Homo-oligomer: A and B are copies of this chain.
Amino acid sequence: MNILLIGGNGFIGSHLIDVFMQNGHNVRVFDISMEKYRTAIPNVDYRIHSIDDLTALYESMLNMDIIFHLASSSVPSTSNINPMIDVNGNLITSINILNTAAKANVKKIVYFSSGGAIYGPTNGSIGEDFPLNPISSYGIIKSTIEKYFLLYSKLFNIETIIFRPSNPFGPRQGHIMSQGVISTFLRKIIDNKPITVFGNGKSAKDYIYIKDLAIICYHISISKKTGIYNVGTGIGTTLDQIIFLIKKVTNSNPKIEYEIVKDYDVPNFVLDISEIKRHIGNFHFTNLEEGIFETWQWIQSQIKK
């Protein structure tokens, strides 16, 4: 298949590149810059442009079998400070992608939304039909973009898949001003700085190793399935448990500082993954300690460079 990954040089995209290449597909990447942590991958067709260059975007979409939209210019932690960044950077960009896809006669499109930011506060396991009550501008705009994908799917008869990943972690996730606590905590240990925990350490979230996520999304994307899919492990892990594992893996004893929970942060969430389980069967998820170990190895290799 011919695959276009828009925003493919980011954290999730880089792992999708790997899975698609390993399975013999033709991969094209449209992104504003090359990967931060790797040099160019042989045989990947890189199209390095601003996403505002709609001509280049249109040309990149021609003759593609599936288009993935992974581009994002914000993270939950800063979005409430200035929602306009989400509107201009993410919503308008996404509508541009959809308009361009309709013009380019795209048949199938996959959007990476957010399982962590879109549902809002809750307890218990969250299915895809759970009401969307995001508490950050980031989450609001993700839910709005989803609705535009579903609208364009209907208006232009485009097969559409929406993935809602939980908290992915692993190699190539940013570890400074990061999207993820595991990378951030590991980096603090390298820098010999205290780890800051928001909340009391008891809040549980659904962490998924990035390579597992990429494989699951690969299999569903190349199938005939459409619709919305939570992508997580379905298992909640508290910050205290994460810290326990990090101490074990790194063999260190960092100072832990507790601060009050931020307003944009959903304290607890675990995804209900019944839907993806129907497609992936008895998928073997990477053990959390093993995933943290791989991430630790990778971060150390980056620092040594």
Q: Is A177 an interface residue (CB 8 A)?
A: no
Contact yes or no, A154 B84, CB < 8 A:
no
Q: Is A92 an interface residue (CB 8 A)?
A: yes
Contact yes or no, B87 A155, CB < 8 A:
no
Q: Is A143 an interface residue (CB 8 A)?
A: yes
Nearest 9 Cβ contacts at the A-B interface:
A144-B144, A140-B147, A83-B95, A87-B92, A155-B263, A87-B91, A140-B144, A140-B148, A80-B155
The contact sample of 7 A-B pairs, CB cut-off 8 A, is A80-B151, A134-B147, A134-B151, A137-B151, A140-B144, A140-B151, A143-B147
CB distance from A283 to the nearest CB of B (A): 29
Which residue of chain B is the closest to A147 with respect to CB atoms?
B140
Interface string of A137-152 (1 = CB under 8 A from B): 1001101100110110
Q: Is A24 an interface residue (CB 8 A)?
A: no
CB distance from A205 to the nearest CB of B (A): 21
Question: With a CB–CB cut-off of 8 A, which chain B residues contact A148?
Answer: 83, 137, 140
Q: Is A191 an interface residue (CB 8 A)?
A: no
The residue that A95 contacts in the complex, of B87, B143, B151, B155, with Cβ under 8 A, is B87
Main secondary structure of the interface of A (DSSP, over half): helix
Which residue of chain B is the closest to A96 with respect to CB atoms?
B84
Contact yes or no, A151 B131, CB < 8 A:
no
Q: Is A129 an interface residue (CB 8 A)?
A: yes
Q: Is A75 an interface residue (CB 8 A)?
A: no
Q: Is A220 an interface residue (CB 8 A)?
A: no
The residue that A84 contacts in the complex, of B92, B131, B135, with Cβ under 8 A, is B92
Complex Cα gap A263–B155 (Å): 7
Question: With a CB–CB cut-off of 8 A, which chain B residues contact A140?
Answer: 144, 147-148, 151
Question: With a CB–CB cut-off of 8 A, which chain B residues contact A147?
Answer: 133-134, 140, 143
CB distance from A141 to the nearest CB of B (A): 8
Question: With a CB–CB cut-off of 8 A, which chain B residues contact A154?
Answer: 135, 263
Complex Cα gap A191–B168 (Å): 62
Complex Cα gap A36–B147 (Å): 34
Question: With a CB–CB cut-off of 8 A, which chain B residues contact A134?
Answer: 147, 151
Complex Cα gap A84–B80 (Å): 22
Complex Cα gap A141–B87 (Å): 11
Interface string of A148-183 (1 = CB under 8 A from B): 101100110000000000000000000000000000
